[in-house]
């Protein structure tokens, strides 16, 4: 989508999604600041709608114009850099253990898992003999947020899946940042973990 027509589509997308976010998720102190946000996103998009989607997520998480301004002045250059920043935010939020397990299960499962199946799967430790209610995620609506929206929930079928196939390709790759290596894994290792899981027979 690097053509003029593609850029026009992206501009329309940015304007539409920012307009919807203004209803509550995106709060700015000065309305004219929205034009600056739109221009920064359009300049950095390089034809990537998915890139825009994740940057808007990051912008909406900021509570001050100063914080939003820092984000748009240091936007990632591509999707891999975007994913690294999302993983860092997951780490900072303290949900890395949940996210790592969801990523592994979503990668290795033979079919997309339902939200309830994923909820049970990530609550199980290796060699655990009995279900521990304390390990179960309390709010299923928080599942995507715990994973930095790299995981989405299909509203119709209520199954858990990656936001894009490039996320699935990125996670098994070797970590370029040592501090984020916990999120990266070999697919065969994730499959081995799942095969030993006590609940595998019910999924």
Give residue-wise pLDDT tens across range 119-158.
988 988 766 667 777 888 888 888 999 999 999 999 888 9
Is 1's pLDDT higher than 70?
no
Domain of residue 135: give its range.
86-202
- The answer on 143 and 68 residing in a single domain is no
Task: Specify if 122 maps to a domain.
Answer: yes
- C-alpha to C-alpha distances, 98 to 6, 52, 95, 106, nearest whole angstrom: 37, 25, 6, 12
- The answer on 99 and 42 residing in a single domain is no
Long-range contacts of 121-126 (CB under 8 A, 24+ apart): 121/194, 121/197, 121/199, 121/203, 122/98, 124/197, 124/198, 124/199, 126/193, 126/196, 126/197
- The answer on 146 and 181 residing in a single domain is yes
pTM for the predicted model, two decimal places: 0.83
Residue 184 in tokens: 């990266």
Q: Which residues pair with 153 in a beta bridge?
A: 160
- The answer on 91 and 189 residing in a single domain is yes
Task: Specify if 198 maps to a domain.
Answer: yes
Render pLDDT for 20-58 as a digit per residue (tens, 0 to 9). Answer: 665 567 778 887 888 899 999 999 998 898 999 999 999
**What phi, psi does 78 have (nearest 5°)?**
-155, -175
Task: Specify if 81 maps to a domain.
Answer: no
Task: Specify if 50 maps to a domain.
Answer: yes
- The answer on 32 and 128 residing in a single domain is no
On average, the pLDDT of the chain sits at 84
Q: In total, how many domains does the chain have? A: 2
């Amino acid at each position: 989508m690097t053509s003029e027509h593609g850029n026009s589509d992206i501009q329309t997308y940015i304007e539409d999604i920012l307009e919807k976010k203004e209803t509550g998720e995106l709060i700015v102190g000065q309305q004219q600041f929205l034009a600056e946000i739109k221009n920064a996103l359009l300049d950095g998009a390089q034809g990537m709608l998915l890139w825009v989607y994740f940057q808007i997520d990051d912008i909406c998480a900021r509570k001050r114009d100063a914080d939003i301004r820092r984000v748009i002045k240091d936007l990632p250059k591509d999707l891999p850099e975007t994913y690294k920043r999302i993983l860092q935010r997951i780490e900072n939020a303290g949900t890395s253990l949940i996210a790592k397990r969801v990523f592994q299960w979503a990668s290795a499962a033979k079919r997309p898992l339902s939200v309830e199946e994923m909820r049970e799967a990530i609550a199980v430790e290796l060699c655990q003999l009995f279900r521990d209610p304390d390990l179960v995620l309390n709010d299923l609506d928080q599942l995507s947020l715990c994973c930095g929206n790299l995981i989405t929930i299909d509203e119709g079928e209520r199954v858990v899946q990656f936001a894009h196939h490039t996320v699935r390709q990125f996670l098994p790759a070797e970590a370029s940042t040592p501090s984020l290596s916990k999120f990266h894994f070999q697919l065969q290792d994730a499959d081995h973990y799942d095969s030993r899981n006590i609940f595998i027979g019910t999924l």
